[in-house]
Amino acid sequence: MSARLGNYGVIASRIGRDALGDEARAYLEPLPAELNYLQVDDDHPTGSVSVTLQDGQPEYVIHKPVAWDFLNCTPAWLELARRADAVCFGSLAQRHEVSCEAIHSFLAATTEKCVRVFDVNLRKPFYDAKVLTDSLARVTLLKLNEMEMPDVMSLLGLVTNSGSDEASLLNCARMLLDRFPLQLVCVTMGSQGSLLVTHGAHHRHHGIATKVADTVGAGDAFTAALVRSYLQGAALPVLNEAGNRWGSWVASQRGAMPALPADVREDIEAQITQATVQ
């Protein structure tokens, strides 16, 4: 999604040498993202997830072991890390020690100016306190949802039984900013918008009314738009509007990567500009 918004986007992952891997590559090739860093695994299958929607929300069965459990931080990846303006990684991809080590080797090779984005995706039983602590020690921007925040705070031993109301989320975000080398905490709240918190400010967005087709991919679109605006030095209201606007549009479409005609992109960008200059 980042590349579709105009960035030079790179997919650094791993697929199997199988039919699903071929299908994934065929799906990705027409998109503007760079695929030269997509590894092929001869021993493990392409990752797959069974998704069902319950009341519009996705429920997952994440199969294992798969190719992306065995990411390899090659010299080419290390060179990519040194050139990156931003890198986004999650907690789920660290469920296996091989990929976990590769991800942290990649992060260690990035420059001080690189924006390191930790997009928390708590999927039981694939997370623990160590994954969270080690990741938070390296990141610039943390993104999680309001239901994940209490679990994260409890696992880190910072707050037990914290709420998911706005005041509690704001307090928790400030605690994380004090504890870790973070510059921004983003808490998404589904249809209710999002909360952005920095060391000196915060901004609440109350969401955009949307007729939801499905929510798969909406969070990733939010992240892509948020990071794009962050790299441009945008203010918190712009970050929030961009994330919510693009996330809501993807949620209104079928599939995680719906077709994006040029006129639709231009219209959404115009809406973001209009909303943030009022």
Task: Write the pLDDT tens digit of every residue in 196-230.
Answer: 999 999 999 999 999 999 888 999 999 999 999 99
Look at residues 99, 125, 106, 81 and name the one whose alpha carbon lies nearest to residue 41: 99
Its pTM stands at: 0.94
pLDDT in tens, 135-162: 999 999 999 999 999 999 999 999 988 9
Q: How far apart, in whole angstroms, are the C-alpha atoms of residue 131 and residue 5?
A: 30
- What domains can be seen in the chain, in order of their start residue? 1-139 (3.40.1190.20)
CA-CA distances (angstroms) from residue 192 to 68, 208, 227, 249, 278?
33, 8, 20, 15, 21
Give me the pLDDT at residue 205, please: 98
Q: Which residue has the tokens 């892509």?
A: 224
